[in-house]
Amino acid sequence: MSGKRYYGYQGGSGHRRGAGAKDGLFGWTVFIFLLLGFVFLCWMGSYYIFANPEKAANYRLLIRMHKIEPPVRFEITGAPRGEFLKPGQLLERFGSMTTSEIRRANSNLLRHFIRNYHQVRELVPYAVGTYRVLGTLPLTDETFCKPGLVVLLQAVEQPEVLLEQPFTAQEKDLPGLKRSLITGQQIKLEKPLDLSAVVHIERLSENKILLTTMPLLYGTYGAAKGEASFSLEPPEGLNLEAGLPIISPDNIAKLSGGKITGDKGLEGKNGEKLSGHLSRIAEEMATPTPEPRIAKAIPVKQSRSVEEATTPIARAIPVNEPAVLPAIPVSTPIGADSSTVVPRAIPVGTPLPTPTPISTPVPNASPKPSAIPLVPLPTNAATMTATNPPVATTPSEIWPVFEPGKMPRGRLVESSDAQDIASRGVGGERHYLKGHFAVTASGNGRAVLRPQGAIAGVPLGPNAKVRVIVDFPAGATPPAEGNVISRESLRPFQITSVKRGDDGQINIYAREITRGQ
């Protein structure tokens, strides 16, 4: 009996202790699984928010958390890789898409734009071609971005293709923006100056498509033979709640009534003359080169004895002055005053005029003339008299021009050495640049070159962020845009300075110092 009571007692109490432990273990297991589910939901939610910034709620949260940047201005060398599509190619690419394909494409295109194209592997579609302005609408707080104007464009070659492109600018530049974007004005989107990326696709009636594009370079636009008309700035922010497209179908129907009239030129809807095609102006051509200027010598004030003399006496030129007056860039202004003299370039080896002796009267002496040699001056220079004091002129850059292979000795470098030169500077040493280059912009006595890599037209390695800006002397024609030039040791460019930008872009400023082709 006692043994049975003993085992029964132990068995009963052991059963009670085991049931409590099992209940506790089951509760903790359920709690851990709930925590795992909560963590999984948090992880999936975070992934969804960061992976889909094109959703309005997600974008608003990311902006508050400072986890995403607003739209930025791209440089040509730092822009995302893409393909340039003409109006016909745009219609072929996007016009044949189904509704579901357009929905997926819109999500991807907008997502890449919001992320500023970070880690984008596929090619970005860029719109190129000639388009005419059908109308404009202001950008407000209720639109996709602000401030500025959104322009409705129609392809000249393919009228079925419509573009809406926001032109965002500062408030002070809006009047000039409105004056330039007149109904009927043509805008030329070119490769590679323009990077108008497609960010949205909309199918319209009558087999037409409306594409929303954003100008990633936010550059300066102007007519081909006129001054810059307006400059763009990145938008202050994006309002994804407003959605895309910016222009509604009703507004498209109202704006599409503008037409180009007249046979001899472009005219706006009110009859005003338009200034030809608007196109983007390269930054190097729109702004002056930030190079140091070499000031010309100002003649020393003449003494009283010279002022009293009836015949002027020529002053001496220092021995170390170059015998030949070098070139002056084409863009240097020439004053209208006849007393202001701007020397022009004289090729090396050109015979100079024979000096003419003049007589100087000597007081209280016999009238025996004494011949004083004059320093030769160029044929287009004028002699300043004592009664006409010199007029101060604006300093300009000057440099000598040589025969091929006859320039002074210096260090011959290539564009791949730009990193080293930018770090230590040019200093007092003379540097010459050789290599193969592609001309990306040309005009006003200046050309912008890109070093050529192993693949034609694609700068690789250390040349990926190198740009060469070359000034040419008066009378010389810079190479046309799109050409490829080669310079060796006989005809190199002379480097004046090398500057590195905050984004790593290296600008090499150089001059043409040799004659010939």
Predicted pLDDT of residue 196 = 95
CA distances from 470 to 129, 155, 384, 425, 503 (A): 29, 35, 34, 18, 21
Q: Per DSSP, what are the bridge partners of residue 127?
A: 85
User: Are 412 and 434 spatial neighbours (Cβ–Cβ below 8 Å)?
Assistant: yes
User: Are 49 and 62 spatial neighbours (Cβ–Cβ below 8 Å)?
Assistant: yes
Predicted pLDDT of residue 317 = 45
For the domain bounded by 411-512, which CATH number is listed? 2.40.50.110
Give, in degrees to the nearest 5, the angle at Cα 96 between 91 and 100.
Answer: 125
User: Per-domain residue ranges for the chain?
Assistant: 82-281, 411-512
User: Are 130 and 229 spatial neighbours (Cβ–Cβ below 8 Å)?
Assistant: no
Classify residue 391 by its DSSP letter: P
The residues of the chain scoring below 50 in pLDDT are: 1-3, 6-15, 258-267, 287-328, 330-332, 334-346, 352, 354-396, 454-457
Residue 83, C-beta contacts closer than 8 angstroms, at least 6 positions apart: 123, 124, 125, 126
CA distances from 233 to 147, 330, 499 (A): 9, 30, 24
φ, ψ of residue 89 in degrees (nearest 5): -70, -35
Query: Which residues of 185-293 form beta strands (DSSP E)?
Result: 186-189, 196-203, 209-215, 220-223, 228-231, 278-281
How far is the C-alpha of 55 from the C-alpha of 46, rounded, in Å? Answer: 13
Q: Amino acid identity, residue 50?
A: F
User: Are 220 and 167 spatial neighbours (Cβ–Cβ below 8 Å)?
Assistant: no
Residue 107, C-beta contacts closer than 8 angstroms, at least 6 positions apart: 52, 54
Q: Amino acid identity, residue 496?
A: T
Q: For residue range 50-75, list pLDDT tens digits in order.
A: 999 999 999 999 999 999 999 999 98
297-304 long-range CB contacts below 8 Å, 24 or more apart?
298/390, 298/392, 299/384, 299/390, 302/386
Predicted pLDDT of residue 461 = 60
Q: Amino acid identity, residue 443?
A: G
How far is the C-alpha of 260 from the C-alpha of 245, rounded, in Å? Answer: 25
Q: Is 76 helix (H, G, I), strand (E, B) or coil?
A: coil
Q: Indicate the angle between helix axes 56-64 and 2-51, nearest 10 degrees.
A: 90
Predicted pLDDT of residue 433 = 94
Pairing mode of beta strands 209-215, 161-168: parallel
User: Are 463 and 416 spatial neighbours (Cβ–Cβ below 8 Å)?
Assistant: yes
CA distances from 103 to 80, 124, 196, 203, 482 (A): 23, 17, 20, 11, 38
Q: Per DSSP, what are the bridge partners of residue 436?
A: 486
How far is the C-alpha of 466 from the C-alpha of 419, rounded, in Å? Answer: 9
